[in-house]
Amino acid sequence: MKIYFSRKNLCIPYALFLVLFVIAPVLVVLYYAFTNGEGQFTLENLVGFFTSANTIGTLIYSMAVAFVVTVLCLVIAYPVAYILSKSRIKRRNGLLILFIIPMWINFTLRVTALKEVLSAIEGNLAYYPFINTVIGQTYDFLPFMILPIYTTLIKLDKDLEEAASDLGANDFRTFLKVTLPLSMPGVISGIMMVFLPAMTNYVILDILYNSTYIMGSLIGSYFSAYNWHTGSMISIVLFAIVFAATLITNKYTDIDNAADRGAML
């Protein structure tokens, strides 16, 4: 019996994975989001999301946390990635490993260790929930901002920087006009990898202190109370926000890449 391999056949396992673990769960969530306890179609869950002070307040708080975490990660990560990209190869690899090693350590152990450090400094962590949430998420997501920016910077054509220097641009102007624009795809990728998880990741908060401020923990609380309809609707709204953000950033990246190709031509 001969087995013929083709591109279509090789796609079958991945297609099955998508159907079972992506499409099917999304359909289940959609069903519960737009039905009531009797299985009838309703928009009450959607209206309830936008009329509930609890969900809107939690969404605003979560987005504020995610914004601050993303800005801090970007401010820290870009100089680090830039310095790494300019270092010698041997030194660069060693420094990069230092930033990757924390990702090899168990997530729970990392956050628990951070909790002990913050407790020794502050005492009761519940006194500063916003600050501690930002510190915890920045500590955890920083490598996810460094790596895409570093990967983009390391692939930049060095001849472009040399050409800018030959044309009379100083180091700052070269960075501002050449390096920074060309590294925007990595910056955008890092922002997406940090902002969206930071808005929903509640595990850090649960380890640091029991809190339900983040959207992820709010969803979990509804599912734990067997209120799958409200929890599913919150998940759908967050999915819509993620989808819209992805479309916007992809469009920006396409425009930026087109401009880069035009400049090179």
φ, ψ of residue 169 in degrees (nearest 5) = -80, 135
**pLDDT (tens digit per residue) in 84-114:** 888 877 777 777 777 778 778 888 888 888 8
CA distances from 95 to 11, 107, 143, 151, 233 (A): 38, 21, 12, 14, 44
pTM equals: 0.82
pLDDT for the residue 253:
59
User: Of 187, 152, 238, 160, which is closest to residue 75 (Cα–Cα)?
Assistant: 187
Res 29 pLDDT > 90? yes
The label of the residue with tokens 């390391």 reads 154
Report the pLDDT averaged over residues 121-145. Answer: 86
pLDDT for the residue 259:
42
CA distances from 164 to 83, 256, 257 (A): 19, 19, 19
Domains of the chain in sequence order: 53-264 (1.10.3720.10)
pLDDT for the residue 98:
79
